[in-house]
């Protein structure tokens, strides 16, 4: 109901004497009828539209889709999908949620934007998908959406608060996750802040050093780095995944980090941020992930692959340092930690000095 309808019953209750009193003074003289304009509610620039039937919350900026928080039953964690530039171009891979042509179909667990890890008390949350054979599913954990805690529209930002459970194959909740997403956007630059608090629920929780984590994005073909050879990647459980050679026409992606390191050399390096930039036709596109100084394992290592996987992993230190470092981060039962990341989606270029300024401002929050 709108507010006008809600006020109608109250108007019906005004008696005859009350109506007369609106127009006549106690001396019987006619009074000027005073009208007060009711304030008009204007739509907020950034709107979050909940759709429980389709299990999603759409994020609209100035009437255009930016992204959606999705929690369907056919993937093993909630995700943000798609990511859309301010000019309206989708930059996340469509597979496996939408039919597509000319895209890779490897790693079916790489869906949109997600947050999980490859070794939590021996369970692999990162690689889980419906493609895992039944006999092996006891090795994988699932993140289950529980509730939407808050949805807030705004002119400066929109806020979504959600709760999830990190569950064992038997349904025991190892970790309770509470995440706040803050969506902003104006002109040619949009952003997402993801603040994720993880609490050990059933027992102590060990995040054993592992290359597969934590905040990941799988990008569309044009943002990949050109490649002229097939590759096979092996996950923590020893499962090989071939990545085939595709036509490189229109494939223009490149990484650069805060230290000026570029391309595939950003993989396994620590840095405050990494920027993946490319163009689709005449549209220049930049996609950056920013770390936060308060995060465990800061500054994060980067799991930046040429085939379109772009991830920040602060907990895989033994892998990325060739054994020179080790973290094996642990939460005792009842303990919590919070990870903060910012994702920036822009049309045009993101200069290093601008990203440095964004990083410092974000880390001050």
- Residue-wise pLDDT tens digits, 324-341: 999 999 999 999 999 999
* Average pLDDT for the chain: 89
| pLDDT greater than 80 at residue 173 | yes
pLDDT at 122: 98
| pLDDT greater than 50 at residue 217 | yes
pLDDT at 40: 60
Confidence of residue 81 (pLDDT cuts 50, 70, 90): very high
Region 234-248: mean pLDDT is 74
Confidence of residue 233 (pLDDT cuts 50, 70, 90): low
Region 201-205: mean pLDDT is 97
- Residue 271: which residues within 8 A CB-CB, separation 6 or more? 257, 258, 259, 261, 291, 299, 300, 302
Region 44-48: mean pLDDT is 98
| pLDDT greater than 80 at residue 229 | no
Distance (Å, whole) CA 223 – CA 219: 6
pLDDT at 5: 31
Whole-number Cα distances in Å, 27 to 17, 22, 30, 32, 322: 15, 13, 9, 14, 94
Region 244-259: mean pLDDT is 90
- For residues 100 and 321, the model is more confident at 321
% of the chain beyond a pLDDT of 90: 79
- Residue-wise pLDDT tens digits, 48-62: 999 999 999 999 999
pLDDT at 8: 31
pLDDT at 332: 98
For the ranges 21-25, 73-77, 286-290, the lowest mean pLDDT is seen at 21-25
pLDDT at 321: 97
pLDDT at 6: 31
CA 303 to chain centroid = 17
Whole-number Cα distances in Å, 157 to 60, 190, 236, 304: 11, 10, 38, 29
- For residues 293 and 38, the model is more confident at 293
- Residue-wise pLDDT tens digits, 99-134: 888 888 899 999 999 999 999 999 999 999 999 999
pLDDT at 48: 98
Sheet of 254-257, strands arranged across:
142-152, 158-167, 173-186, 189-200, 336-347, 283-290, 273-280, 254-257
pLDDT at 78: 98
């Amino acid at each position: 109901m709108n507010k006008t309808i809600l006020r109608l019953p109250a108007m019906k209750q005004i008696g005859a004497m009350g109506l007369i009193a609106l127009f006549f003074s106690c001396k019987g003289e006619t009074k000027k009828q005073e009208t007060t304009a009711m304030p008009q509610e204007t739509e907020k620039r950034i709107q979050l539209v909940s759709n429980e039937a389709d299990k999603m919350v759409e994020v609209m900026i100035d009437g255009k889709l930016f992204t959606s928080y999705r929690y369907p039953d056919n993937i093993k964690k909630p995700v943000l999908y798609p990511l859309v530039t301010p000019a309206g171009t989708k930059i996340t891979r469509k597979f496996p949620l939408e039919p597509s042509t000319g895209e890779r179909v490897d790693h079916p667990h790489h869906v949109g934007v997600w947050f999980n890890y490859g070794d939590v008390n021996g369970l692999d949350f990162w690689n889980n998908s419906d493609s895992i054979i039944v006999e092996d599913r006891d090795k994988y954990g699932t993140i289950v959406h529980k509730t939407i805690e808050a949805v807030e529209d705004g002119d400066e930002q929109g806020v979504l608060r959600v709760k999830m459970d990190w569950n064992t194959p038997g349904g025991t909740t190892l970790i309770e996750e509470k995440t706040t997403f803050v969506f902003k956007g104006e002109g040619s630059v949009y952003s997402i802040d993801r603040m994720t608090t993880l609490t050990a629920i059933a027992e102590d929780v060990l995040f054993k050093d592992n290359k597969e984590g934590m905040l990941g994005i799988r990008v569309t073909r044009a943002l990949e780095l050109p490649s002229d050879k097939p590759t096979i990647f092996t996950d923590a459980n020893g499962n090989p995944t071939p990545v085939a050679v595709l036509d490189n026409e229109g494939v223009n992606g490149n990484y650069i980090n805060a230290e000026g390191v570029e391309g595939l050399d950003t993989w396994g390096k620590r840095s405050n941020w990494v920027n993946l930039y490319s163009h689709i036709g005449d549209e220049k596109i930049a996609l950056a992930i920013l770390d936060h100084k308060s995060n465990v394992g800061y500054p994060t290592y980067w799991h930046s692959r040429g085939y379109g996987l772009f991830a920040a992993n602060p907990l895989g230190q033994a892998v990325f340092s060739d054994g020179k470092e080790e973290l094996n981060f642990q939460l005792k039962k009842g303990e919590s930690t919070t990870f903060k990341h910012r994702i920036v989606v822009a049309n045009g270029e993101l200069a290093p000095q601008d990203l440095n300024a964004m990083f410092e401002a974000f880390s001050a929050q």
